A = this chain, B = another copy of it.
Amino acid sequence: MYAVDATAALFVQRWNEAAGLPLGDCPVRGVLDRISDKWSMLLVMTLADAPKRFNQLRREVPDISQKMLTQTLRTLQRDGMVARQVFDTKPPAVEYRLTPLGQSIIVPVGYLIDWASKNHPRIDQARVAFDAAA
């Protein structure tokens, strides 16, 4: 055991319960896998402040290919995180917006982002030290 704070201990306990499930039935594994794909969370955060259109997303995430943009948006839509609204104008416009479910993940992902921005210098330091030792 370590000395961990109460919040961490609670999460660890929940995790241990979840981790005991058969692999296919562990909902956490499934969600972590989804989050873990290269673009999903990036798009969720890019849509976090306002709904956006297809090419607007391409501009704001310049290093995503249009194929992966389409594909990731479809997956997010299928998972109920993003809603797709077509405007029947000429030329057609398509707007993507977070659903309430999609919005609800902003906070937990936000904590991770917060952790990242606070601790990435430590990670960088650790890497330099590790590589120097090797």
Footprint of B on A, CB under 8 Å?
1-2, 4-5, 7-8, 10-12, 14-16, 18-19, 23, 27-33, 35-38, 41-42, 45-46, 48-51, 60, 62-63, 77-81, 97-98, 101, 103-117, 119-120, 122-123, 125-127, 129-131
Which residue in B19, B38, B106, B113 is a CB contact (below 8 Å) of A28?
A: B113
- Assuming A45-B19, A80-B126, is B101 touching A7 (CB within 8 A)? no
Question: Is the pair B104, A119 in contact by a Cβ cutoff of 8 Å?
Answer: yes
Copies of this chain, complex-wide, total: 2
Question: Is the pair A80, B122 in contact by a Cβ cutoff of 8 Å?
Answer: yes
- Assuming A63-B23, A103-B8, is B31 touching A116 (CB within 8 A)? yes
- Assuming A14-B117, A27-B117, A38-B36, is B108 touching A50 (CB within 8 A)? no
